[in-house]
Structure 1
Amino acid sequence: MKKTTTVFKISVVLAIIFVLWGALAPHNLQTVTSSIQGFIQVKFGWFYLISATILLIFAIFLIFSKYGNIKLGKDDDEPEYSAISWFAMLFSAGMGIGLVFWGCAEPLSHFSDPPYGDPKTQDAAELALRYSFFHWGLHPWAIYAVIALALAYFKFRKGEPGLISATFRPILGEKVKGWLGKLIDILAVFATIFGVATSLGMGAVQINGGLSFISDSIPNSTNVQFLIILVVTVLFMLSAISGLGRGIKWLSNANIVFAVLLMLFLLFIGPTNFLLDFFTSQLGTYIENLPKMSLRLTPFSEKNSAWIQDWTIFYWAWWISWSPFVGTFIARISKGRTIREFVIGVLAVPTIFSALWFAVFGGAGIHLQIFSHVDLTGLIDKQGYEVALFSVLSHFPMSTLMIVLAILLITTFFITSADSATFVLGMQTTNGSLNPQLWIKVVWGIMQAAAASVLLFSGGLDALQTAAIIAAFPFAIILLFMIYSMMKAFKDEKPPKHLRR
């Protein structure tokens, strides 16, 4: 057995302490973390907004800058994947439990409780979709693009290990191998644990919501959600132990097929013209209002400030906590592309797909609410966000089949997310090894499941959101310094051989 790293030992010990705290004193965990979250949101909400906007501006700057021609690899390296395959994998990375969970729930929630103005009006409907585009569009993908770009650049062009700390060599030099580098990697591990635990917890809640929606005999309770997490964890462990790498790849491809089929079914069986018109018009207003939305805070309205903290600031924190996980995946598939190709692809493809997803699912829910007078928002208030998708699907033909397909989709996302995240955590805690030992992956699989379970036990969805916001705060600072580190490295670049004179 290879010697374990300091980052692995410290990270595991801290994770165990957190899990034990949540298991033995759940109310104390909820009280303490809620206090920390409240302090961060109230005192540093502006910091999350400015940080995410800086990351987006930096990504757009790279597209038009002279650095756009730099290869993520050596000058003569070619992309490992064709453009179509690469786009398909970006598309896969853009999908997840969160998109399925919030596809109907978020627009309907904003429709009944808009960021400003009167609820359940045409203006509220337009704001609902525009802000859903905003929360799942360019900003999150700029966050992912920056960290993925840094990892790919330093790994493939500079020959550094695939660690977050390695991206700081231009600033820290050999100190990246010291305590400061280890601290950066530990923070990345914890951001990943809580970001993924949030998604896994949401997945368990929604699977439970779907099963109880189909059958009254299945209660929508924390105990059932624990059982779902246990079953999926066992399935993941079996796949990891048996080494069914091809099976997980097949499952990932199946996710895409199921998701597209579900979306196309609703698009064509539902109010097609309304959905496509809604998508087109709100895509335009999203782009038009992007600068204003990016920095919108409401210091004179406590109610509107609470809305921004509950939605926008939570999302920015969640994306930041997810960024080491998604960034590592995107970096691995992007060798040989130029920075310009990379940034355009990572920003454009998932943003457009996410917008279409919300227009179809959220638009279908809003159409039912306005034109068919179905009180979906009332149902969500009573039963929770997790039933939104199933409630909308139940009003269309073949609803039972579609609900079963949706539950399968969430389950397969759950399994593949857990598998991918344990690989990333294993890599980050074994000096960037592309083949972390099986037992290390198993340890991180158990830790993720345990973290999701104790968060659900201590406070449900609110606790999941709290953990993501807290974990993301120090990592947001790391991302900003990552920009400085990359710019410092880019300025030392020599032009490609074919451009030299």
Structure 2
Amino acid sequence: MIRFRIGHEEALIMPRKASEPDKARPDIPRSPQAFAAAHRTDLLVFGVTAVITLVFVGWGVISTESLAVVSNSLLSWLVTNIGWGFVLASTGFVVFALWLAFSRYGAIPLGKDDEAPEFRTVSWIAMMFSAGMGIGLMFFGVAEPLAHFVEPPPGTVAPLSDAAVETAMATSLFHWTLHPWAIYAVVGLSIAYCSFRRGRKQLISAVFTPLIGKRGAEGPIGKLIDILALFATLFGSAASLGLGTLQIRSGMQAAGWIGAVGNTVLVLIIVVLTVCFIASAVSGVSKGIQWLSNINMVLAAVLAVFVFVVGPTVFILDLLPTTIGVYLRDFGEMASRSGATGGAAMNDWLSSWTIFYWAWWISWTPFVGMFIARISRGRTIRQFVGGVILVPSVVSLVWFAIFGGSSINVQQRGIDVYRSGGEEAQTFRVLETLPLSTITTVLVMVLVAIFFVSGADAASVVMGTLSQRGSIDPKRWIVVFWGAATGAVAAIMLIVGGEDALSGIQNLTFLASAPFAVVMVLLCVALLKDLREDPMMQREEKGAQVLEQAVIAGTERHGGDFQLEVGPVEDDPDDESR
């Protein structure tokens, strides 16, 4: 008990009664038996998702053609009728995440009030970046700016012009900076707050407790949320495996190790990568993912510095301020593109680029969000949002300026990189124009492999967590099962795509992520409700209320001549309120 002393008057602040619940206290099982029961395999979540996955894989093996037809039809319908929702939601997540960081909620820690961060900042950023989109940057770092330079978005600028350079870089930055990382931040922040601050299970469904109650979060509605999260995670990680496989195959062809190959080699690459990331996943976060992420950060930096130094250095440096300026100038236009103004041509472009990216990021959010949450304990909301959004955005800006700028420069010099092969081959075509191309080709393949292994490593552990009621250390057999399922789904994605393998990845990723986009919007509402009831916010509000009442009382009774003091309340035998 403490008191405010105002002249000769006292205002008492009584301690909360022991019977009142502590909202910040972790709800941890007290016995080994209770702990084991709380983290046993959720047969409904695991069983339903596993059955759907096996049916999908069987469908792809038995009737690849019909799966391709159905996925194409569904994609066309969704882009035309639901694409606007992805466009609005993605920008909404950016606004929501940045608002949280700059609001009074930004000081709330993701853990106890005095808890220190679990990982060093450098390792935290390396793991976050590697799991978040490392493999995508390797795949699209050259291909995307080049594609927008040669074929700009419909109704914008003339192809191959100076204005096309600006549009190409700004569009690439739009797809890879604030929007994707804000999408990750919303889910990661919700889970970290829910788990480390509130003491709930590390599940997507647990975040919805403020909206549907504990019984609802652990009941059928919560199970459905976790199933959607698990399904989106599976397809998101499988899409990454498919992209990595395509690029490794192209690298092997560029190095002269293999010639023209079919699906057999792709499947073999998938098998090798799957075995590698399963082995890494069962080693645990601290040993496997952190080790691989730190190695890859160094290798990626070496590759980027090499291309910057031996490539068009001045052109790259000129692109940095230009890209930032055009990105800020055209942000509103890029964020509002839809079929309403561009018709069928714009719909086709959006499905291949913007909406595909939003769907891909959303499909990754359950596992990237849960993984980022897992490594972010002890940081404040402001630190979390700043680290998750701003740091990777700056890295993406530099990466695209170096690799995208190099590809555009090579194209301007008369070497047709754009038509040298698919997106997966264009990186190696640019490297062929630089010294030590054989070494850098091998380095890119190693980077792609490790980026995928570290990302899929995190995905397998998270799918295990979702399957075992939020356990941060899931059983190995669960991790192995989901790792193998990821490899199988990736193989089906590539086979469904046929010659244009990327189309199969795009179609199925979009279909898997659409339901989870709705979950994410509701998740923002649940998080905001939770934050408003946070103990720190309640203390601030109560403190401000008590102080205001004390000042009013002092002014009324003593005019402007009074002071506030805090001290222990003396025992008063006549006080019957205590």
TM more than 0.5: yes
> For each residue in 1:398-456, what CA deviation from the matched residue of structure 2 results, as whole angstroms up to 9, or x when unmatched?
11100110011111122222222110100011001111111111100110000000111
**Contact residue 75 and residue 496 of structure 1 kept, 8 A:** no
Matched, 1:225 2:248: no
Q: Partner of 1:123 in structure 2?
A: 163
What is the alpha-carbon distance in structure 2 between the residues aligned to residue 66 and residue 295 of structure 1?
30
What is the 5 A alignment of 1:223-302? 223-240=264-281, 246-302=287-343
Change (3 A) 1:256 1:79: same
**Contact residue 228 and residue 516 of structure 2 kept, 8 A:** yes
User: In structure 1, what residue type is equivalent to 2:522?
Assistant: F
Q: 1:165 is matched with which residue: 192, 205, 214? A: 205
User: In structure 2, what residue type is equivalent to 1:359?
Assistant: A
> For each residue in 1:118-142, what CA deviation from the matched residue of structure 2 results, as whole angstroms up to 9, or x when unmatched?
1111111111111000000100011
What is the alpha-carbon distance in structure 2 between the residues aligned to residue 353 and residue 194 of structure 1?
26
**Contact residue 210 and residue 526 of structure 2 kept, 8 A:** yes
Q: Partner of 1:143 in structure 2?
A: 183
SS of residue matched to 2:484: helix
What is the 5 A alignment of 1:361-372? 361-370=403-412, 372=413
**Contact residue 196 and residue 421 of structure 1 kept, 8 A:** yes
Q: 1:308 is matched with which residue: 342, 346, 350? A: 350
**Contact residue 167 and residue 326 of structure 2 kept, 8 A:** no
What is the alpha-carbon distance in structure 2 between the residues aligned to residue 338 and residue 262 of structure 1?
33
Matched, 1:101 2:139: yes
Deviation at 1:273, TM superposition (A): 1.6
What is the alpha-carbon distance in structure 2 between the residues aligned to residue 32 and residue 493 of structure 1?
46
User: In structure 1, what residue type is equivalent to 2:159?
Assistant: P
Matched, 1:343 2:381: no
> For each residue in 1:83-122, what CA deviation from the matched residue of structure 2 results, as whole angstroms up to 9, or x when unmatched?
3443333333444211100010111111111012211111
User: In structure 2, what residue type is equivalent to 1:142?
Assistant: A
Change (3 A) 1:194 1:64: same
Change (3 A) 1:424 1:240: closer
Q: Partner of 1:325 in structure 2?
A: 367
Q: 1:407 is matched with which residue: 432, 436, 445? A: 445
Matched, 1:433 2:471: yes
User: In structure 1, what residue type is equivalent to 2:408?
Assistant: I
**Contact residue 196 and residue 448 of structure 1 kept, 8 A:** yes
What is the alpha-carbon distance in structure 2 between the residues aligned to residue 275 and residue 286 of structure 1?
16
Q: Partner of 2:85 in structure 1?
A: 47
**Contact residue 164 and residue 184 of structure 1 kept, 8 A:** yes
Change (3 A) 1:336 1:248: closer
Change (3 A) 1:158 1:10: same
Q: Partner of 2:417 in structure 1?
A: 376
**Contact residue 42 and residue 469 of structure 2 kept, 8 A:** no
Q: 1:463 is matched with which residue: 504, 510, 513? A: 504
Q: 1:397 is matched with which residue: 402, 417, 435? A: 435
Change (3 A) 1:247 1:262: same
What is the alpha-carbon distance in structure 2 between the residues aligned to residue 57 and residue 248 of structure 1?
31
User: In structure 2, what residue type is equivalent to 1:218?
Assistant: G
Q: 2:482 is matched with which residue: 444, 449, 472? A: 444
> For each residue in 1:132-153, what CA deviation from the matched residue of structure 2 results, as whole angstroms up to 9, or x when unmatched?
0000010001100000000000
Deviation at 1:247, TM superposition (A): 4.7
SS of residue matched to 2:239: helix
> For each residue in 1:14-52, what CA deviation from the matched residue of structure 2 results, as whole angstroms up to 9, or x when unmatched?
111111111111111111111111111011111100010
**Contact residue 94 and residue 350 of structure 1 kept, 8 A:** no
What is the alpha-carbon distance in structure 1 between the residues aligned to residue 539 and residue 120 of structure 2?
23
User: In structure 2, what residue type is equivalent to 1:191?
Assistant: A
Q: Which moved more, 1:339-348 or 1:175-184?
A: 339-348
Change (3 A) 1:234 1:86: closer
User: In structure 1, what residue type is equivalent to 2:184?
Assistant: Y
**Contact residue 94 and residue 354 of structure 1 kept, 8 A:** no
Q: Which moved more, 1:394-403 or 1:225-234?
A: 225-234
SS of residue matched to 2:419: helix
Deviation at 1:216, TM superposition (A): 6.6
> For each residue in 1:53-83, what CA deviation from the matched residue of structure 2 results, as whole angstroms up to 9, or x when unmatched?
1111101111221211211112222222343
What is the alpha-carbon distance in structure 2 between the residues aligned to residue 239 and residue 52 of structure 1?
32
Matched, 1:180 2:235: no
Q: Which moved more, 1:408-417 or 1:387-396?
A: 408-417
User: In structure 1, what residue type is equivalent to 2:385?
Assistant: V
> For each residue in 1:265-309, what CA deviation from the matched residue of structure 2 results, as whole angstroms up to 9, or x when unmatched?
001111112101102211122123222211222524332332123
> For each residue in 1:372-406, what CA deviation from the matched residue of structure 2 results, as whole angstroms up to 9, or x when unmatched?
21111121xxx211101000001001111001100
SS of residue matched to 1:282: helix
SS of residue matched to 1:188: helix
- TM-score normalised to structure 1 length: 0.95
Q: Which moved more, 1:298-307 or 1:451-460?
A: 298-307
The two structures, once aligned, show a CA RMSD in angstroms of: 1.9
Matched, 1:472 2:510: no
What is the alpha-carbon distance in structure 2 between the residues aligned to residue 88 and residue 141 of structure 1?
14
Change (3 A) 1:339 1:245: closer
SS of residue matched to 1:299: helix
Change (3 A) 1:196 1:378: same
Q: Which moved more, 1:289-298 or 1:321-330?
A: 289-298
What is the 5 A alignment of 1:199-210? 199-210=240-251
What is the alpha-carbon distance in structure 2 between the residues aligned to residue 177 and residue 495 of structure 1?
27
Q: Which moved more, 1:82-91 or 1:172-181?
A: 82-91
User: In structure 2, what residue type is equivalent to 1:179?
Assistant: P
Q: Which moved more, 1:237-246 or 1:215-224?
A: 237-246
Q: Which moved more, 1:118-127 or 1:441-450?
A: 118-127
What is the alpha-carbon distance in structure 2 between the residues aligned to residue 232 and residue 305 of structure 1?
34
**Contact residue 130 and residue 286 of structure 1 kept, 8 A:** yes
**Contact residue 104 and residue 358 of structure 1 kept, 8 A:** yes
> For each residue in 1:227-283, what CA deviation from the matched residue of structure 2 results, as whole angstroms up to 9, or x when unmatched?
101122233344456779635532221111111111110011111121011022111
**Contact residue 201 and residue 469 of structure 2 kept, 8 A:** yes
What is the alpha-carbon distance in structure 2 between the residues aligned to residue 28 and residue 348 of structure 1?
43
> For each residue in 1:445-499, what CA deviation from the matched residue of structure 2 results, as whole angstroms up to 9, or x when unmatched?
1100000001111112111111111111111100000111011111212336995
Q: 1:352 is matched with which residue: 384, 394, 402? A: 394
**Contact residue 75 and residue 497 of structure 1 kept, 8 A:** no
Highest CA radius of gyration, 1 or 2? Answer: 2
> For each residue in 1:190-236, what CA deviation from the matched residue of structure 2 results, as whole angstroms up to 9, or x when unmatched?
10011111110011111001101121743243221111011222333
SS of residue matched to 2:395: helix
What is the alpha-carbon distance in structure 1 between the residues aligned to residue 370 and residue 236 of structure 2?
14
* Structure 2 unpaired stretches of 5+: 1-35, 548-578
